[in-house]
């Protein structure tokens, strides 16, 4: 073993942050463990192991036995050890998966709750006690079995959690109802509490189901990254080209990659020229020209050339796998709000139990009947039933996220809600976030005696059948000028160079300046203009014509074209709005510094003031975010591509912006806590506002939930509240929490 050795273990049965704490404590007790990070979202633990030479001889454990010992520790703590990555490797399930228990709970609870609603309208009717018992008991002990199991594990570990509160509170209501029913006179009408117990179990199950859905959303990021790997590679072997599974590719293998295919591994180009879409790595929308000895990355998309590559990294050593690991590690953060209720519950449960016992003994020893003492003790338990406590967070989250989604803002996790209103620094990815993300024809400069309209028409006609991003930019410019396409023939791609073909009778070539240099095309007076455009970060292409003069064939320049991205229409307004909130703004990009600084100035950002970070690789994006966090800043990262996923996950809050062109956008959306469903930068400030309002409602709800208990428990213990009023107070607390949460629906950006 070495200091970098880690083991991943899947864990089943965790329900809250206190479960995470118990698993971490159990694993840390195993000799040889230096650190543990338990991720509730992925239901897994990453265990760091110390170097073998650092352990006492008595504590040395053979490597194959270490995983078995860790699994035993998980099982002894009351949880189920599983194979790692079972959740992330699982296929996407229906959004209604696991809803059946909640549906049964609603069906069985409805007949119990309807008489209570009838009382509000003066209709006094009630189901016979036997029917109430038959409806409530399956909810209590079949649907609610998970709470008893998890609560029992908490008791064994001398701690408390929400499951234990649910089990105790609902069991108290159910048991009191059974006792009152069995001890009542045959003709007497007694108030029973079956409906309260059944409804609490059903509502808490609903909250658990919503939590499970959030877990599936979280792990979708990893599944989307894995999907970028191709399944088949074309290996050059002794018998020629052979198709084989990409997982079996070895370092040193030679692979053929056809146009439009993804590269199966990291490697070096041996033969051919091509354009490669590396937006999943750099975020740059423009294809990158690749020639012999150029580096290639797994998951990127080959353009129009058939190329031969030699593999230099496979499996876990590829750049794509590195990005996957960055996302997995950064997503291990724990949500403070979700942890809060469980932390309070750990103290709340024994306090309530102690108060109920004191109430029972106090009344009984004071000379009152045991029945009176028991009723008052149960009143304490009923008023303390965690219905409002369980609803406080999910009710506010559902209301807040519901109204936010109406305006195109999807808030996915409680940690983003907790931290969004606390951020002081906003880091924007450039391409596709503040800019359109598609190349545009910025300038066209004709050679001597060449009219702009004529050369634009020639360039557009030559590229009329191409799907290349630069070709689409030229066609868009020609369409805007109302130009018609000329007849073309014999058009062919020159891999890694450009296009050539006939437009009418003219033999034209359109491609890179490197190709023009190879063809000895003189740029003449336009050479300085080309250098200026390149210094500003633009991509420069040339349109040339092959002509024959005096029996000599040569290629002459017709025009130069400059391509680049452009800012989104609302980008500068959005930055001004965020700056008005007192936030520090930064722009992060993998593009060259000239292009990034030129775009920053258009947007009103100041490169000299450190508001620009350029030429940043994918792994370094997350490192830059972590550096800001280590400097004491609360960081919001806004991005849209696969390359942004590690930085989105590493930030205090990740905010993904949907890109209409698709690509790797889904990965960024799943890695982020907040998703903007429209590519509108103005939604960033709106998302911060609704996040702050939602977290404020959560805190208000938790206050009211506890306030009812703080005021109600003493009244119940002193005999001023019987279980009937205690149940009513409990219901009122739930109604007030829901009503307060629903106020969020009035929000507008």
List b or e across 453-474, with b for residues whose CB sees 16 or more CB atoms inside 10 angstroms: eebbbbbbbbbbebebbbbbbb
> How many other CB atoms are found less than 10 A from the CB of residue 384?
26
Structure tokens at 111: 């007949």
Beta bridge partners of 30: none
640 is catalytic: no
Radius of gyration of the chain (CA): 33
- The residue count of the chain comes to 749
- For residue 472, what are the contacts with CB-CB under 8 A and spacing of at least 6? 438, 466
Q: 99 phi and psi, to 5 degrees?
A: -85, -15
Catalytic residue among 266, 277, 429, 689: 429
Q: List strands edge to edge, sheet with 6-12.
A: 33-39, 44-49, 6-12, 80-82
Q: 234 phi and psi, to 5 degrees?
A: -100, 100
At residue 39, the 3 state secondary structure works out as: strand
List b or e across 491-529, with b for residues whose CB sees 16 or more CB atoms inside 10 angstroms: bebbbbbbbbbbbeeebbbbbbbebbeeeebebeebeee
Distance CA 727, CA 298 (A): 61
CB-based contact 595:559 (threshold 8 Å): no
- For residue 661, what are the contacts with CB-CB under 8 A and spacing of at least 6? 432, 437, 438
Beta bridge partners of 309: 255, 269
Distances (CA, A) of 528 to 160, 518, 525, 535: 74, 19, 7, 11
Q: Is residue 572 packed enough to be buried (19+ CB in 10 Å), middle (13-18) or exposed (0-12)?
A: middle
> How many other CB atoms are found less than 10 A from the CB of residue 314?
22
Which helix H or strand E contains 226, and what residues bound it? helix 194-226
Distance CA 493, CA 601 (A): 37
Give the catalytic positions in this structure: 429
């Amino acid at each position: 073993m070495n200091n970098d050795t880690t083991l991943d273990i899947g864990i089943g049965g965790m329900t809250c942050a206190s479960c995470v704490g118990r698993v971490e404590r159990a694993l840390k007790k195993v000799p040889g463990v230096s650190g543990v990070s338990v991720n509730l979202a992925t239901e897994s633990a990453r265990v760091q192991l110390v170097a073998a030479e650092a352990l006492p001889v008595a504590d040395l454990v053979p490597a194959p036995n270490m995983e078995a010992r860790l699994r035993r520790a998980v099982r002894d703590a009351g949880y189920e050890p599983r194979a790692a990555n079972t959740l992330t490797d699982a296929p996407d399930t229906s959004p209604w998966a696991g809803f059946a228990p909640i549906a049964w709970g609603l069906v069985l609870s409805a007949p119990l709750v309807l008489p209570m609603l009838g009382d509000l309208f003066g209709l006094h009717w009630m189901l016979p006690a036997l029917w109430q018992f038959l409806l409530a008991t399956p909810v209590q002990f079949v649907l609610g079995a998970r709470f008893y199991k998890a609560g029992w594990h908490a008791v064994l570990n001398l701690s408390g959690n929400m499951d234990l509160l649910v089990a105790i509170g609902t069991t108290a209501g159910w048991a009191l109802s059974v006792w009152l029913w069995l001890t009542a006179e045959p003709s007497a009408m007694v108030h029973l509490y079956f409906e309260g117990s059944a409804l609490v179990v059903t509502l808490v199950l609903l909250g658990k189901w919503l939590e499970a859905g959030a877990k599936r959303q979280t792990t979708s990021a990893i599944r989307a990254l894995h999907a970028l790997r191709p399944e088949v590679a074309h290996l050059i072997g002794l018998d020629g080209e052979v198709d084989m599974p990409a997982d079996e590719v070895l370092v040193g293998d030679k692979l053929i990659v056809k146009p439009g295919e993804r590269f199966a591994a990291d490697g070096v180009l041996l033969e051919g020229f091509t354009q490669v879409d590396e937006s999943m790595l750099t975020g740059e929308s423009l294809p990158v020209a690749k020639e012999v000895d150029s580096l290639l990355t797994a998951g990127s998309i080959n353009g129009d050339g058939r190329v031969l590559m030699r593999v230099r990294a496979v499996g876990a050593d590829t750049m794509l796998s590195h990005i996957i690991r960055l996302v997995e590690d950064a997503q291990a953060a724990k949500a403070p709000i979700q942890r809060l209720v469980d932390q309070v519950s750990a103290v709340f449960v024994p306090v309530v139990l102690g108060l109920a016992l004191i109430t029972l003994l106090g009344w009984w020893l004071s000379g009152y009947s045991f029945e009176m003492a028991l009723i008052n003790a149960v009143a304490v338990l009923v008023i303390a039933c965690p219905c409002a406590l369980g609803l406080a967070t999910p009710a506010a989250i559902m209301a807040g996220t519901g109204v936010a989604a109406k305006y195109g803002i999807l808030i996915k996790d409680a940690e983003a809600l907790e931290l969004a209103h606390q951020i002081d620094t906003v880091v924007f990815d450039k391409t596709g976030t503040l800019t359109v993300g598609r190349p545009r024809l910025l300038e066209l400069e004709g050679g001597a005696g060449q009219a702009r309209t004529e050369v634009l028409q020639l360039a557009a006609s030559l590229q009329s059948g191409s799907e290349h991003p630069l070709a689409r930019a030229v066609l868009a410019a020609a369409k805007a000028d109302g130009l018609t396409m000329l007849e073309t023939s014999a058009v062919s791609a020159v891999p890694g160079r450009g296009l050539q073909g006939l437009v009418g009778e003219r033999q034209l070539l359109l491609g890179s300046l490197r190709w023009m240099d190879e063809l000895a095309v003189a740029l003449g007076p336009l050479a300085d203009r080309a250098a200026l455009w390149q210094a500003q970060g633009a991509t420069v292409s040339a349109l040339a014509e092959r002509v024959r003069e005096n029996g000599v064939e040569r290629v002459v320049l017709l025009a130069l074209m400059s391509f680049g991205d452009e800012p989104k229409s609302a980008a500068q307004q959005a930055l001004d709005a965020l700056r008005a909130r007192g936030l520090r703004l930064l722009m992060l990009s993998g593009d060259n510094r000239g292009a990034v600084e030129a775009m920053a100035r258009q947007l009103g950002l100041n490169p000299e003031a450190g508001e620009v970070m350029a030429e940043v690789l994918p792994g370094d994006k997350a490192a830059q975010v972590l550096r800001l966090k280590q400097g004491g800043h609360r960081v919001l990262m806004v991005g849209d591509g696969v390359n942004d996923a590690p930085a989105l996950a590493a930030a205090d809050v990740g905010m993904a912006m949907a890109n209409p062109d698709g690509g790797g956008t889904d990965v960024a959306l799943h890695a982020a806590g907040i998703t903007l469903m429209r590519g509108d930068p103005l939604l960033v400030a709106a998302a911060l506002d609704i996040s702050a309002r939602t977290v404020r409602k959560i805190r208000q709800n938790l206050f009211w939930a506890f306030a009812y208990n703080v005021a109600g428990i003493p009244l119940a213990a002193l005999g001023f509240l019987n279980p009937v009023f205690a149940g009513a107070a409990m219901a009122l607390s739930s109604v007030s929490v829901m009503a307060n949460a629903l106020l969020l629906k009035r929000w507008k950006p």
